[in-house]
Amino acid sequence: MFHSSFVLFPALRVSQPYRVEGKEGEVPLHCFFSAKSKPEEMQITLYKGLPSQERICSAFVNLSQPYFTTDGTVNCRGNISSGRVDMIITGLRGEDTDLYRCKIEILFPPPYLRGLGNGTVVYIQETPNCPTASTQNQSQSQRQTSEWEAVKSDVGPLPLLYAILIITSCSFILQMIICKWRGSSSMAPMLSQKESYMKF
């Protein structure tokens, strides 16, 4: 006795490569399927993770126009050819590295067929923030400017300090000269008085 689900929904074999690697948020993914009849209308759905599956994208495709694209944070675009679905997934980040499974449903012609792939480990490389020549020159000029500002802020009080020291030294020397001049001018009358006393 056959199981009712087998009679209503006979299995569709879906296979996937074990591992693919993506760069700059983009990864190619291929899903292979085998069906006895040539499908005309299909539903392609991509799930992420196990056991709780998150639907990434889904598209209804009429094989008279086998190309499809989806919109969203993660975008799927691709085409269906004989026994395979070729997709490009964009908008992925390093944290999206996970197991991705293809679900393929043949909607027409009857009978309705569906199958879920064994999954592909999708590894997303993080894009390093490598500076270009222009950004490197810009960052270098910014660094030089900031260093010059730091030097100016460090050196800023020094000219003022030098000016204060020079003014203080000049005023001290001037006071010494004035005191010496006053001392010599006050001694001159005393000497003249002494000399006049000696003459008597």
Sign of the four-CA dihedral 132, 135, 138, 142: negative
pLDDT digits (tens, 9 = 90+) for 151-169: 555 555 566 656 677 877 7
Q: Is the pLDDT of residue 112 over 60?
A: yes
Least confident range of 9-18, 68-77, 187-196: 187-196
Q: What is the pLDDT of residue 168?
A: 74
Residue 79 pLDDT greater than 90, yes or no: yes
Q: Supply 66's token pair.
A: 């086998």
Q: Which of 70, 74, 128 is nearest to 96 (CA)?
A: 74
Mean pLDDT of 9-27: 87
Domain boundaries along the sequence of the chain: 4-124, 133-188
CA angle, residues 22, 26, 27, in degrees to nearest 5: 50
| pLDDT given at position 148 | 57
Query: 59 or 72, which is more confident?
Result: 59
Q: Which fold has domain 4-124?
A: Immunoglobulin-like (2.60.40)
CA–CA distance, 132 with 65 (Å, rounded to integer):
41
**Residue 4 reports pLDDT greater than 60:** no
Decide if pLDDT at 3 tops 50.
no
- In the prediction, which pLDDT does 120 show? 95
pLDDT of residue 185: 58
**What's the pLDDT tens digit per position in 19-70?**
999 988 899 999 999 988 889 999 999 999 987 789 999 999 999 999 999 9
24: left (phi over 0), alpha (psi -120 to 50) or beta: left
